[in-house]
Amino acid sequence: MFWKSFSTTRTGEFHAAACALIPQVHWDFFENCIDWYEIDDYIFVHGQLDPDLELAEQSPHEVRWARFHISQKPHRSGKKVICAHTPQVSGLPTDIGHAVCIDTYLYGGQWLTCLDVRCGKYYQANYLGKTRMLE
């Protein structure tokens, strides 16, 4: 395979060169990201939350990479969890009452989704430039 022709040193050099092309402002953004965002009735997270732990006790792996499951328990805070990282191949968000997954499989040809929690409407756009609203 082609990629095997690169030594570890050459691969490392390639990655270092590629990273050098990324503007510092982008690195600053990533270094200052938070693992969750909380408002009155909602918690926003990329991955998932352990339902039995306070936000400050969550593991970085859980909040960044854990998958959404329709059988998951409500978070101890009683707040609705808005998450992603688990593609909904139908292109539709999955709402189980105490949590909703808005990863609607854009990279698989479906939709990019935004949820306006104030009114419960979903706004979607796709690669073809089409948009739609779901209530």
pTM: 0.82
Q: How confident is the model at residue 10 (pLDDT cuts 50, 70, 90)?
A: low
Domain locations in the chain as residue ranges: 2-134
The predicted-structure confidence for 23-76, as pLDDT tens digits, reads as follows 999 989 988 999 999 999 999 999 999 999 999 999 999 999 999 999 999 999
pLDDT of residue 9: 64
User: What pLDDT is recorded for position 8?
Assistant: 58
Place of tokens 């430039």: 129
Two tokens at 67? Answer: 């998958």
Using alpha carbons, select from 34, 35, 29, 33 the residue that is nearest to residue 50. 35
